[in-house]
Amino acid sequence: MVLITAILTVLVLFAAYQATLSPVTGTEERGVRNGSKVQVDYIGMLAPEYGSLVFDTSIYEVAVDNITYPKVATFKLRDKNQYVPLMVHVGGASEGGYTRVVEGFSEGLLGMKPGETRTIVVPPEKGYGNGDPSLIKTLPIVETVKMRETYSTKQFDAYFDATPYVGEVVEHPLYHWPMVVENLFENYVVVRNDPEVGKEYLTEGWSIRVLDMDSTADGGNGTIKIRHLITEEDEFQTTGVGYIKGVERTFILTDVNETAGTYTIDYNEVTQGRTLVFWVKLISIDVY
């Protein structure tokens, strides 16, 4: 009996000794849970139906590799030292350097263990939302614009930074073709668009070609027919600048439909209204 007791005592002491030598293993053996503070590397992409284009990443090699990882037009390359693992407070608020991420991303991290990789699919309702529908415009690929435009004197000064006089040649603020001042009135100016048929002009997003001009159309005011030189290959890889609700904003070209003869531009963020895919690698669980 004394021998058995002595053996049990030795085993208990040995176990206690082993515990002092070994680190606590619960963090790595268990997975990420709500409230965990973790570090991850990630690649954020649009879903395959939008071309699987990268919109953000924590990995510098991915950021600079546009062949293997093609990017959306709005992708912004940061300084190399800014490409570090993202510190995430899973299901929690941003604090102490750890950030809150969208719900779908956060839920996708649950159960992960250090070294594990995972692909997380995030629908708009668990991502960045659907955006504002009024900021999405569908327009004709072949468009008819007015030959003559009227500007108030204040608008003329703002657009062309000039004092108007008859015969003055200025450049169209959007199409960048020549315009000629035709008439002056007390408070407004009439300007005639004067592009060359068959010539291409660079707009704020892409090139256009002048197809035809008819000075007798629209009751003698004249019209100009143009074609936007865009294809499906330009989707999500072309941006431009326009005015929406009176404010200058950047848009992204999201759809070119040759069959319907239309194209769509979106002034929302590219991550809004679309399913996103995140490739994630869990680097560490800092706080379980």
pLDDT in tens, 78-98: 999 999 999 999 999 999 999
pLDDT in tens, 179-197: 999 999 999 999 999 999 9
**Percent of all residues in the chain with a pLDDT value above 90, rounded to a whole number:** 82
**pLDDT value for 248:** 84
Distance CA 10, CA 14 (A): 6
Residue 150 Cα distances to 33, 156, 192, angstroms: 62, 9, 9
List, in order of start, the domains of the chain with CATH numbers: 27-131+273-287 (3.10.50.40)
pLDDT band at 241 (very low <50, low <70, confident <90, very high): confident
CB contact at 8 A, 238 and 252: yes
Higher pLDDT among residues 21 and 177, named by residue: 177
Strand arrangement of the beta sheet that strand 136-140 belongs to: 136-140, 262-266, 247-257, 239-244
Query: Rounded to the nearest 5°, which phi and psi values hold at 70?
Result: -60, 145
pLDDT in tens, 139-161: 999 999 999 999 999 999 988 99
